Structure 1
Amino acid sequence: MMPAISRTVTKVSTFSAWLSSICLLGMMGVTCIDVTLRFFRHPIPGAFETVGFLGALMVAFALADTTLKGGHIAVEFLVEKLHSGVRKWLDRITTLVLILLFGLLTLRMGGYALELKEAAEVSMTLKMPVWPVVAGICGGLGLFVAVLVTRLTRSV
């Protein structure tokens, strides 16, 4: 049962990384086009908003896959001096704290997305609904928590 869940989380994380890449390409495209059009005195209205939304989504969508691949920066000059058994327990405790912290953050972001949807909150320039962006961030964080849970269950 657990290997199937782990495989599913890995596949969804890979898909999420592709979404993150698309967000990055969108950010680059909007920025390049906006800078070029500014030269001709016709900037893109809402370019700053769009790049901000895409940046937030890019980070949220990249968290899970980066964690699976061990791509985060780690400063281990103290930890590497510890006994391997102590390091394993420290990693488990750190992962558990991350699960709790980001689990609560995911729940709060989901609630905030619902609040924004009910209030019909829109962005200042583009007047587009904000809740889908917050919901996307919530999804990325939730997937990150799922990756952490599968990592913790594998280490036990």
Structure 2
Amino acid sequence: MIDRLDRLSECLAKALTFLAGVFLVCMMLLACANMVFRAMWAPIQGTFELMGFMGAVVAAFSLAFSQRQKSHIAVGLLLNRFPQAVQRMTDALTSLISCLFFIFCGLETTKWAAFLVQTGELSETLQIIYHPFVFATATGCFALSFVLCVDTLKILTARKVQ
């Protein structure tokens, strides 16, 4: 069961990372186009706004993959001196608390996006709906919490966490 969850978390993380890459390429193309248009004629309206929205999606969609690859900063100077069992339980507790935190973040972000839908709020410059970007950010938080939950289960069942 844990192996299936692990494969699912891997597929989810890779899919979201692929989408993050697509958004990053769009950001690069928009930035380059804005520079060219600014030099030749006039800048593209709303570039800053779109870059912010897409940047949030890139960051959120990259979280799960980053956790799976353990590409974040971890400080283990003090923890490495404790017995292996204490290290495992500390890792499990840290993963569980982080999982709960990102579930909370995802829920609150989803509530905010639902509020934006309800009120019909539009972006300031382009006057476009932007709640899809907020929902996407919540999705990134939920994906990270899923990966953290799987990590917690792997630690508690003594399976190797990448």
For the aligned pair, the TM-score class normalised by the smaller chain equals over 0.9
Cα shift readout 1:61-109 (whole Å, capped 9, x = no counterpart): 0000111111112222222233322221111111111011111111111
Cα shift readout 1:31-69 (whole Å, capped 9, x = no counterpart): 111112111231010000111011000010000011111
CA contact under 8 A between 2:91 and 2:155: conserved in structure 1? no
2:11 aligned with 1:33, yes or no? no
**Paired residues, what number?**
156
Aligned partners of 2:102 and 2:12: how far apart in 1? 18
- Map of 2:159 onto structure 1: none
Equivalent position SS for 2:74: coil
CA contact under 8 A between 2:102 and 2:141: conserved in structure 1? yes
Residue 7 of structure 1 and its aligned partner are, at CA, apart by 1.4
What aligned pairs does 1:61-100 form with structure 2 within 5 A after superposition? 61-100=61-100
TM-score (norm 1): 0.94
Q: Which amino acid aligns with 1:28?
A: M
Q: Let me know the Cα RMSD of the aligned residues.
A: 1.2
Aligned partners of 1:2 and 1:85: how far apart in 2? 20
**Unpaired segments ≥5 residues, structure 1:** none
- Map of 1:12 onto structure 2: 12
Range moving further from structure 2, 20-29 or 136-145: 20-29
- Map of 2:154 onto structure 1: 154
Cα shift readout 1:14-45 (whole Å, capped 9, x = no counterpart): 00010111111111111111112111231010
Aligned partners of 1:99 and 1:28: how far apart in 2? 32
Aligned partners of 1:79 and 1:47: how far apart in 2? 45
Alignment identity in percent?
28
**Unpaired segments ≥5 residues, structure 2:** 157-162
Equivalent position SS for 2:16: helix
Aligned partners of 1:102 and 1:32: how far apart in 2? 34
